Amino acid sequence: MTTDGWVRAEIAAVSACGPVREQNEDRLGWAVIGSPESARSPLGDSGTVHAELRGPGIAVVVADGLGGHSHGERASGTAVRIVLEGLVEPDVTGRVPATLRMGFEEANTALLDGRLDGPDESGGAAPARGGQTTLTALALTRRASSLAHVGDCRVFRLRDEALELLTTDHTQAAELLRMRLVRPDQVARHPGRHLLTRSIGGDIMLRVEARSGEPAVGDAYLLCTDGLWSAVTSGEVRATLEGDLAAGVADLVARSAERGGDDNASVIALRLLELGGTADAPPRAGLRLPWRRGGGA
C-alpha cells in the first residue's frame, strides 16, 4: 500500500431511535482508509462506541434516512456502506476527494435503482424504490481533510478554541435565508426547516457540497443528524469536543431526548491525535485497535 504519512485519531459515536420514532433511520460509519477490515457501520441503539484508529487516513460518515419515504433506514445504511467501500480500497489515499464524490454518486444511483441493503418488510430482496437519505462524510489524511455533504446533517470543527460549522443545510428554510427572504431568527420556526432541497436518491442530478483543508493535530470534529443538532446548543457541542468524547456524545443524545426531540439522534466525534510522516514507522496500515462499548445514552 502506498501512503504519504499516517494519522491517529480517537472517535466516539452514539445513535439512538429517540422517544417517539419506532425505528432508527440514522446510520453512522467509520474506517481506516485503505483497510477493508477496519470498516464499521453499527446499528442504532447499541450504546456508545469509543475507539482509537491509526493508518494512512481515517473516514467518518453519517446519514439520515428520510422520514415519510419508504425504506429510509435501508437507504441510509446502503449509502454509508457504499461510501466506506470506496474509501477502504487499496492505494486510495492520494485520491480521497474523487473517491468520496464517486461514492456519493454510486449511492445516489443505487437508491434511484431501488438497490437497498437488507430485506424489505416481507423479508424479500426485491427492488425498493423511493428510499432517500442525507449523507455527510469526512476523510482525514496527513496532508488534507476532505468533506462531502448532501442534506442537513452538520459537521462542526473545534480548532484553537474556535468552533466552526463546516456545512450548510440543504433545506428550503436555509435556501430562503441565503436568498435573504427570511431572517435568521425565523429559520428555526419556518415550515420548510426540515424540507430537503438535496438528498441521495432524490434526483438523478446530484449536487454534492465539497470542502477541503489542511488538518492539524488537536482538531476535533463532530458530525450529527438534524435530530441532534436541532436540540443542543453550540456551547454543548464545544464542551463535547473539548472534553471526554465518549461521555460527551452520550450526553448530547441524552439531552436531545430530554428536550422532547421527536427524531432519531446520532453523533460521531473525532479528535486528531497525531500526524506522522512516512519515515516515522507507524504500525501496519489498517491495524484494528481494541473497541470499547459503553452503556446507551
pLDDT by residue (tens digit) across 53-89?
999 999 999 999 996 666 889 999 999 999 999 999 9
State the pLDDT at residue 2.
47
What is the mean predicted confidence (pLDDT) over 173-184? 63
State the pLDDT at residue 43.
78
What is the mean predicted confidence (pLDDT) over 237-261? 92
Provide the whole-model pTM. Answer: 0.87
297/293 Cα distance (integer angstroms): 12
Q: Is the pLDDT of residue 185 over 80?
A: no
Is 1 inside any structural domain? no
Is 76 inside any structural domain? yes
| Strand locations in the chain (E) | 6-16, 26-32, 49-55, 57-64, 135-141, 145-150, 154-159, 162-165, 209-213, 220-224, 265-276, 291-293
Is 35 within 8 Å of 57 (Cβ atoms)? Answer: no
Is 280 inside any structural domain? no
Is 292 inside any structural domain? no
Is 134 inside any structural domain? yes
Q: Is the pLDDT of residue 262 over 70?
A: no
Q: Record the cell numbers describing residue 297, joined without a space.
A: 445514552
Q: Record the cell numbers describing residue 123, joined without a space.
A: 423479508
* CATH number for 88: 3.60.40.10
The parent domain of residue 12 ranges over 6-122+129-274
Domain count, the chain: 1
Is 61 inside any structural domain? yes
State the pLDDT at residue 189.
65
Q: How confident is the model at residue 118 (pLDDT cuts 50, 70, 90)?
A: confident
What is the mean predicted confidence (pLDDT) over 136-154? 96
Query: If you search the block for the grid coordinates 431501488, which residue do you land on?
Result: 114
Is 83 inside any structural domain? yes
Is 36 inside any structural domain? yes
Three-state secondary-structure class, residue 61: strand
